[in-house]
Amino acid sequence: MKEFLHKIAADTVTAIKESIPLCAESVERLANAVVISLEKGGKILIFGNGGSAADAQHMAAEFVNRFRMNRRPLPAIALTTDSSVLTSVANDFDFSLIFSKQVDALAAEGDVVIGISTSGNSPNVLKGLEAARGKNAITAGFTGKQTAEMEPLCDIIISAASDDTPRIQEVHIFIIHIICELVERKLFA
């Protein structure tokens, strides 16, 4: 068991270490975009499927409640939490539209819209980012090594240096925490 734990920990550390040089500039750009949007009265919309949905909710919670500082709440919405909207869109139209319909309804010019897809090719995430483009929102994508489908829809790409879903998710949550801390520091330090 110890060997297994050490191997997983080593794999995670390697994925994080290899990802940092690839996405450091993008992390700073995304944190700055969030700050600028919030300063202008914008909001953050975040979405993904499965574990990425949980990451979207985690990120929204850090903005709305707090990360490290007690401060005013920041407007962030995880588009994965309204089961009535999700199921009605999936039932009446198609599952691939569950995020794009919400983005169409909620996004405004200058908002930051963040799609999370470890594969980089989740149809509903891609359609959500495409809808955000149509609203002149700032688009950001969190993915793994495969960026080809997501990249044309994003102003900012955060790419984990891995093809392994658990390692990608660990990199994503590490970076989400960094972004939350940067945003707090820039707005409230």
Summarised one tens digit per residue, pLDDT across range 36-48 is: 999 999 999 999 9
State the pLDDT at residue 166.
96
Question: Strands (DSSP E) along 70-173, which ranges?
Answer: 76-78, 112-116, 138-143, 156-159
Contacts of 41 (CB under 8 A, 6+ apart): none
Supply the pTM of this predicted model. Answer: 0.96
For residue 45, what are the contacts with CB-CB under 8 A and spacing of at least 6? 76, 77, 79, 102, 103, 106, 107, 111, 112, 113, 114, 132, 137
CB 83 within 8 A of CB 51: no
pLDDT of residue 189: 86
Distance, CA of 61 to chain centre: 12
Give the Cα separation of 141 and 143 in Å (integer). 6
**Could you report the average pLDDT of every consecutive run of 10 residues in the chain (189 residues)?**
92 94 96 98 98 98 97 98 97 98 98 97 98 98 94 97 96 98 96
Domains in the chain: ranges and CATH: 2-188 (3.40.50.10490)
Query: With left for phi above 0 and alpha for psi between -120 and 50, is residue 139 left, alpha or beta?
Result: beta
